[in-house]
């Protein structure tokens, strides 16, 4: 029988997963539900340029982004002519040009954010900084068993939370277990909401800083909050305070923070930096504890992201099928 030249050729949609550095997508069993429906391609490499990205994802119908590891701007969207849906793990979309995507008819689906791991990392960094754990650990590993270290306490300290959203709420709930007294501020925080969590609402961000032995940033990065932790706020922190940031570096006046910490006037507990991974070398010498933006990256969080990401991909494929019938 001769082939019918008029018969429609069905081309499977292409699902491209970028930046699977830890191999969590490649190892996830539920991907078997997608493979019969689409050509699934998973990349563990970090693509730094438009040319490489376009070569890897140029025929993508669905593009899966892992957090904010790849920036999707208008130029990249132009290089992906078949793209119909972006699926993003996490809730933040600062790395996606949403207006450009909308103009090209590209839908954006997200898995939503996860906060427990970041709250845990916040306290891990606090404890590491206050108890001098990085220094003590290094000392033991080189054969120096220090017998006279004087470490600090969290008990009785005033914890100031800049932001009382999902992550800040988790932190506020954990703090009393350490005997900490919580004060909070955010642009929309009410006295009633603060009281629900056993916290006091500060009248301003500078007032919060003045009342904090430990100042922890949990605000979302939007245009209105960029640089909101200003030099004035940093100057208001008491001498010897601990500055914690597991949110976004762009929320903070970095120069003001570095200057105070370099003077030894305060210590830091940081998981986020500007220009990651090529961060300012001055951070290496600051008193406190540092981690390389891993607060969100727990095994449990990854499992949730990938599981929900599979659901979003199936939703995207169903919508594409509906659009062609």
Domain annotation covers residue 164:
yes
Domain annotation covers residue 58:
yes
Whether residue 67 is found in the same domain as residue 95 = yes
Domain annotation covers residue 2:
no
Domain annotation covers residue 88:
yes
CA 166, CA 90: separation in Å to the nearest integer? 13
The model's pLDDT over 199-232, given as tens digits with 9 standing for 90+, comes to 999 999 999 999 999 999 999 998 999 999 999 9
Band of pLDDT at residue 7, cut at 50, 70 and 90? very low
Whether residue 33 is found in the same domain as residue 70 = yes
Strands (E), the chain: 14-17, 39-42, 62-66, 85-89, 107-110, 158-162, 181-185, 200-201, 214-217, 242-245, 267-270, 288-290
- Domain with 92, as residue range(s), is 14-113+299-323
Whether residue 280 is found in the same domain as residue 246 = yes
Q: Angle between the 116-130 and 133-141 helix axes, to the nearest 10 degrees?
A: 70
Whether residue 38 is found in the same domain as residue 132 = no
Whether residue 187 is found in the same domain as residue 258 = yes
Which residues belong to the active site?
248, 276, 293
Query: How many angstroms separate the Cα of 146 from the Cα of each of 12, 128, 134, 139, 286?
Result: 63, 16, 13, 7, 21
Whether residue 40 is found in the same domain as residue 173 = no
Q: Residues 103-122: what's their mean pLDDT?
A: 91
Write the CATH number for 49. Answer: 3.40.50.720
Best CA proximity match to 242, nearest among 319, 159, 139, 120: 159
Band of pLDDT at residue 3, cut at 50, 70 and 90? low
Domain count of the fold of the chain: 2
Domain annotation covers residue 1:
no
Residues 6 or more apart in contact with residue 35 via CB below 8 angstroms? none
Q: Residues 86-93: what's their mean pLDDT?
A: 89
Query: How many angstroms separate the Cα of 187 from the Cα of each of 97, 125, 164, 203, 228?
Result: 25, 26, 10, 10, 11
CA 248, CA 222: separation in Å to the nearest integer? 10
Residue 95 and residue 63 in contact, taking contact as beta carbons nearer than 8 Å? no
Whether residue 85 is found in the same domain as residue 203 = no
Whether residue 27 is found in the same domain as residue 167 = no
Say yes or no to pLDDT of 134 above 70.
Answer: yes
What pLDDT, on a 0 to 100 scale, did the predictor assign at position 149? 78
Whether residue 185 is found in the same domain as residue 80 = no
Strand partners, 183: 160, 200
- Structure tokens that stand for 11 in this block: 């081309």
Whether residue 146 is found in the same domain as residue 236 = yes
Say yes or no to pLDDT of 277 above 90.
Answer: no
Whether residue 188 is found in the same domain as residue 306 = no
What pLDDT, on a 0 to 100 scale, did the predictor assign at position 321? 78
Domain annotation covers residue 5:
no
> Which H or E run includes 299?
helix 299-323
Whether residue 136 is found in the same domain as residue 242 = yes
């Amino acid at each position: 029988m001769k082939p019918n030249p008029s018969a429609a050729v069905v081309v499977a949609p292409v699902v491209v997963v970028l930046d699977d550095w830890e191999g969590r997508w490649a190892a996830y069993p539920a991907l078997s539900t997608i493979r019969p429906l689409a050509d699934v391609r998973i990349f563990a490499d970090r693509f730094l340029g438009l040319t490489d990205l376009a070569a890897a994802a140029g025929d993508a119908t669905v593009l899966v982004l892992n957090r904010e590891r790849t920036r999707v701007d208008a130029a990249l969207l132009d290089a992906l002519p078949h793209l119909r849906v972006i699926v993003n793990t996490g809730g933040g979309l600062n790395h996606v040009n949403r207006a450009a995507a909308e103009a090209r008819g590209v839908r954006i689906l997200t898995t939503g954010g996860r906060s427990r791991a970041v709250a845990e990392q916040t306290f891990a960094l606090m404890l590491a900084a206050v108890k001098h754990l990085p220094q003590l650990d290094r000392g033991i590993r080189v054969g120096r068993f220090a017998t006279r270290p004087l470490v600090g306490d969290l008990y009785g300290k005033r914890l100031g939370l800049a932001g009382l959203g999902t992550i800040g709420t988790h932190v506020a709930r954990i703090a009393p277990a350490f005997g900490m007294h919580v004060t909070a501020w955010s642009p929309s925080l009410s006295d009633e909401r603060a009281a629900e969590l056993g916290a006091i609402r500060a009248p301003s961000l500078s007032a919060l800083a003045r009342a904090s032995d430990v100042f922890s940033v949990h605000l979302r990065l939007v245009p209105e909050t960029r640089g909101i932790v200003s030099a004035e706020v940093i100057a208001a922190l008491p001498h010897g305070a601990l500055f914690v940031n597991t949110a976004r570096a762009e929320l903070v006046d970095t120069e003001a923070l570095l200057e105070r910490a370099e003077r030894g006037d305060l210590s830091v507990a940081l998981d986020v930096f500007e220009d990651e991974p090529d961060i300012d070398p001055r951070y290496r010498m600051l008193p406190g504890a540092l981690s390389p933006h891993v607060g969100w990256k727990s095994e449990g969080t990854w499992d949730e992201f990938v599981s929900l990401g599979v659901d979003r991909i199936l939703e995207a494929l169903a919508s594409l099928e509906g659009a062609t019938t």
